[in-house]
Amino acid sequence: MTAIDMISEYKPVALYYDDADSVEYVRVDGPSVSRRIDAFLTLILDMDDRSKVIGFRLKGFRNFYSKHFRLINEALNDEFLALVSVIEKRVTEIANNHFDRAEAAQRLEAYKCARDIAAKDSVILRGRIAA
Amino acid sequence: MSKIELRVIQGGNEKSEELLQFPQFVRGPAPENSSEMVNWRVSRGDLLKAAANLRRQKVLDFWAIVAGKNPPIRAFGMEQSGSLVSLADASACYQGLKRPCGDDDNGDERVIFILNPLEFFEYQFRPPIVHVNKRSVPEGLVFAAYARLDHPPEGGVRGVVTHWEFLEACPHEGTLPIDHGDRYCRLLWRRD
3-state SS string for chain B: CCCCCCCCCCCCCCEECHHHCCCCEEEEEECCEEEEEEEEEECHHHHHHHHHCCCHHHHHHHHHHHCCCCCCCCCECCCCCCCCCCHHHCCEEEECCCCCECCECCCCCEEEEEECCCEEEEEEEECCEEEEEEEECCCCEEEEEEEEEEEEEECCEEEEEEEEEEEEECCCCCCCECCHHHHCCEEEEECC
Residue from the list B45, B54, B124 with its beta carbon closest to the beta carbon of A18: B45
Mean pLDDT of B140-163: 94
Question: Is pTM, for the whole model, over 0.90?
Answer: yes
Q: Which residues of B touch A3 (CB under 8 A)?
A: 15-17, 19-20
Q: Which residues of B touch A6 (CB under 8 A)?
A: 12-16, 19, 56, 73, 75, 123, 130
Q: Tell me, what's the pLDDT at A75?
A: 42
Mean pLDDT of B79-101: 94
Q: Which residues of A touch B160 (CB under 8 A)?
A: 19
- Check CB contact under 8 Å for B122 and A15: no
| Distance between A77 CA and the closest CA of chain B, angstroms | 23
Higher pLDDT, B110 or B12: B110
Return the closest-CA partner of residue A44 out of B183, B141, B167: B167
Mean pLDDT of B7-24: 75
Residue from the list A2, A15, A33 with its beta carbon closest to the beta carbon of B20: A2
pLDDT at position B180 over 60: yes
Residue A43, SS3 per DSSP: strand
Instruction: State the Cα angle at B59 between B58 and B63, rounded to 5°.
Output: 115
- Residue range B25-60, pLDDT digits in tens: 999 999 999 999 999 999 999 999 999 999 999 999
A130 touches chain B (CB under 8 A): no
- Check CB contact under 8 Å for A6 and B98: no
pLDDT at position B69 over 70: yes
Q: Tell me, what's the pLDDT at B70?
A: 95
Q: What is the value of ipTM here, to two decimals?
A: 0.91
Give the B window 39-68 contacts with A, CB below 8 Å.
Answer: 43, 45-46, 48-57, 59
- Residue range A34-63, pLDDT digits in tens: 999 999 999 999 999 999 999 999 999 988
pLDDT at position A81 over 70: yes
